[in-house]
Structure 1
């Protein structure tokens, strides 16, 4: 901007974008531009007065319209990016397929195989997975299993659930809701890995739940990465926060702790802050 942001003719407003809930632009009756700042906290003070969710107008001259519109767009982008969910995860960078004396191999597949109880039972399937795994996915966990009566290897990657047997079946993680392990109901009975992909439930069978537990945990993590990472969280204050503020305001009014004028000002501010 070519001049300071101002809330009136005398006071400059110097605030961090993180203090804002949203920003909007409007025109005044005399042709000036008003950039409306909505703060996250009702207790944010401007000119010695708490905003109580009311917008603080920053007035600019008409010739600054383009700069004002660009400012509003830039702040909106920054506010949206600040709400993007970013969670620290293990490094799931897919490793390269490298030649070896046993054929092409990937380090993630090798590590996952080493965590299996009996990887020697699945040598053919593990070898096949080395080249089945795509260059854009990381192989998280493996387990020996039977599916629809056919033996094979169940694998969870950051993008797909695979069953490698006589045939290769796959399901995108984006379609998976959750996974659970059902322990053997009685001695000698098999354990079951249930993968829920509404309305379908895939059931994998093995004699021990140990490997299934690791796969189920990895399915949960893969689903989080797909559905949560990079998503946009609700803007604060959310509806629940505002409802709690309203309840507190009404209770304070009932107890005679808030006079009519501040009560109406706070009530209007809460309504202005409601989404939609």
Structure 2
């Protein structure tokens, strides 16, 4: 077995981690460096001078928080049902849900647009929130099901002996024990929703409802290509996601490991 306690092993692990990190860090460093080219901090002032940054941030926050709430509630209920309850066709329904992981977002854009237009949801937040929640739920259910499945059934039985219903067992026994995986689900869902680009671009044509990922488009058009403005807007767009990850990094890593192993 690989022993990471020796000095040589730690050096090898550190070297491998550095090699794996470099391809991801270099583009980020180039983006930040390029955002200061020319006018320096003036590039960021130029982005805020557009006057749309607060509106775009508000819209992205509304969408991201709404998606997080929907995904969390649906995921916890589904994970509890698939791991602890018995009902006909449970495995069939679970694998049908996982089959949705094979559907890329780009393939679904046309049918989603048609449905949004048919139900008069075009230019509404719901046209973005509901598809984003549906696209993220299969993976989060997979993570949460593994975690909830590792909770001893004896705890549920003890709750039933005390007279608790299934919903009370879920609320007072299961949910408090799923906080690590819940933190992972919330963080993943928030980052994916905040960084969503295709669905908001397609569904939200009203300038007052567009999101922060469309901010760089202010500096590119048929006749202009302000790359410093694009890079500065990209950095501003990424800041909330980076802060969210750094704030919950410990819980995120713990939840990912627990969801993968249990």
Does TM-score exceed 0.5, indicating one fold? no
| Structure with higher RCO (Cα < 8 A, 6+ apart) | 2
Asked which structure has the greater CA Rg, the reply is 1
TM-score range, shorter chain: under 0.3
Normalized per residue, which structure has more helix? 2
What TM-score, normalized to structure 1? 0.22
Relative to the length of structure 2, the TM-score reads 0.23
